[in-house]
Amino acid sequence: MSTINFSAREINFKIVYYGPGLSGKTTNLKQIYDQVPSESKGEMVSLATEDERTLFFDFLPLDLGKVNGFKTRFHLYTVPGQVFYNSSRKLILRGVDGIVFVADSAPNRLRANAESLRNLRENLQEYNLRLHEIPYVIQINKRDLPDALPTDMIRQVLDPEHRTESFEAVAAEFQGVFEPLRAVSKLVLEKLAQKT
């Protein structure tokens, strides 16, 4: 749910990186943070407990332009990967404008990908939202693994009707990191334009 800061003439959007534990959500955010010019980003905040970590920061993208004279500011969040922290996941989804689902390419993580996507759908229902109503893309990460599953197999599990744009990535090497963010950001802005 975008918010408008009239004094700063900014529209704020919330993008959440969702996916199973160790799929690369935190790596994505760290890579993006390292690439965004310091004058365009806020501080990276890590909310850490003994076993859980959530990262977030905000930035002003320079290439997306303005909306009705307002700058756009994106707030990026990760969710904890472990299902044990589901209440944190739900809380982070409150007011979400767009989602990047980070899938793991490892063969033994296919079920974890599917379970995490199911969990995402269930948590969105808490806010009377459906995944197909929210700007959403899939990043298929860890494509550098020697035994990485074929992307078609992962897509068949996560998006059998191929409705969602997907991107291959090796987030640890900064490959395929900005593309999903750019794509979901455009979808968020298009959805806002439809409302106005």
CATH of residue 45's domain is 3.40.50.300
- On the question of pLDDT at 55 being above 80, the answer is no
Q: pTM score, two decimals? A: 0.93
For position 169, what pLDDT does the model report? 98
CA 116, distance to chain mean position in Å, is: 13
Phi (first) and psi of residue 88, to 5 degrees: -65, -40
For position 84, what pLDDT does the model report? 67
Handedness of CA 94, 100, 101, 102 (dihedral sign): negative
Minimum mean pLDDT range among 57-66, 84-93, 159-168 = 57-66
For position 100, what pLDDT does the model report? 98
Q: In this structure, what token pair is assigned to residue 173? A: 């090497």
37 half-sphere exposure, CB direction, 13 A CA radius: 6
Pairing of strands 70-78, 98-104: unpaired
* Element at 118 (helix H, strand E): helix 110-125
Per-residue pLDDT reduced to its tens digit, 133-176: 999 999 999 999 999 999 999 999 999 999 999 999 999 999 99
The residue range of the domain holding 106 is: 3-195
How many domains, in total, are found in the chain?
A: 1
* Element at 84 (helix H, strand E): none
